[in-house]
Structure 1
Amino acid sequence: MIPEAYTKDFIESLPPQKRQEKLRELETVLNANLKGCADLKGWQDRLYSLIEELNGLGFFLGRWDYDSEVETWGGPSYMDPTRQDDLLLRSQFPVGVTLAWQDYEELNKRQAEQ
């Protein structure tokens, strides 16, 4: 369960440094929820449930890319480049989830650091 403290409106309202801190906290929450998934199916089932919760907290997350163990989720810019994304999420089984805010290159950089 994702705490209500991680709503899109709240995270969006934070200054950039505080937003990054809150995103790292949210990563920890998500990864704790995924810990213990023994296989890819269990991981994906739990991941999709968490993404539903994030959508319920105001984020728009749609699947951008899927390659079995790696999935990238982001906002509406995938279908409409005039719209800006907010939360970007990359999941890699069994490594974990990486988050970034409006910056796909940052998402790639953070994943490479894992």
Structure 2
Amino acid sequence: MSQEIAVIGSPDFTTGFRLAGVRKFETVADDEKDEQLDEAVSGVLEDENVGIVVMHDDDLEYLSRSVRNDVETSIEPTLVTLGGGAGAGGLRDQIKRAIGIDLMEEDN
């Protein structure tokens, strides 16, 4: 069972997680995202020890179509995005994708 958290993003984004004890991270400089983000994300997705991948929501736009599809359809590891206006709806969708049910679904 995958138990580690991995963080992918700019040095500013990953530093806080590293200070909090996250040991797996891929730092990609802002000016190199177009070239290196796909490779970083693909590598983390292939790591069997990673259960959760954390990225900034804005970084998703830098991913190629195939890698973005891999991230969006991945069940394990599960992608959690922060920032960028994902809001409660975005978090709700992430939880729903991760566990397969909508915990906040209203009974009508």
- Which TM-score tier does this pair reach, normalised by the shorter chain? 0.3 to 0.5
Larger relative contact order (CA 8 Å, sep ≥ 6) = 2
TM-score, normalised with respect to structure 2: 0.33
Q: Which has the larger radius of gyration?
A: 2
